[in-house]
Amino acid sequence: MTEDVKVDKHHSSRPPPIALGINVEKPKFPQYAVYSKRLESFEAWPEYIPVDKIDLVDAGLVYTGVGDSVRCYFCGGGLRNWERGDVPMEEHAKWYPKCPHILLVKGQTYIEKLSRGEKPEVDGNTSSGHNDSSTATDIINSVAAQSCIQMGYKDNMVQKAIDIYNKKYGNNDFKGKDLCEILFELEENPDPSFTQTGTEDNNQSAQVDSVTSFEDIEPLETLLEENQRLKENQMCKICLDSRADVIFLPCGHMVSCPQCAPALTKCPVCRKTVNGHIKAFFSTTNVN
- The pLDDT of residue 221 is 66
For 1-48, the pLDDT digits (tens) are 444 444 455 455 666 666 666 788 899 999 999 999 999 999 999 999
Q: What mean pLDDT do residues 78-96 have?
A: 95
Instruction: Please state which of the ranges 25-39, 81-95, 139-153 shows the lowest mean pLDDT.
Output: 139-153
The C-alpha atoms of residue 191 and residue 130 are separated, in whole angstroms, by: 30
Comparing 213 with 190, which gets the higher pLDDT? 190
Comparing 222 with 266, which gets the higher pLDDT? 266
Report the amino acid identity of residue 235.
M
The DSSP element (H or E) to which 61 belongs, if any, is strand 61-63
The C-alpha atoms of residue 162 and residue 226 are separated, in whole angstroms, by: 22
Residue 104 has pLDDT above 60, yes or no: yes
Q: Is the pTM of this model over 0.75?
A: no
- The pLDDT of residue 135 is 53
C-alpha 121 chain-centroid distance: 12
Starting at the edge strand found earlier in the chain, the sheet holding 22-23 runs 22-23, 276-279, 246-249
CATH code assigned to 2-115: 1.10.1170.10
Residue 89 has pLDDT above 90, yes or no: yes
The C-alpha atoms of residue 111 and residue 193 are separated, in whole angstroms, by: 46
- The pLDDT of residue 102 is 92
Q: Provide the residue ranges of all domains of the chain, joining segments of one domain with +.
A: 2-115, 128-233
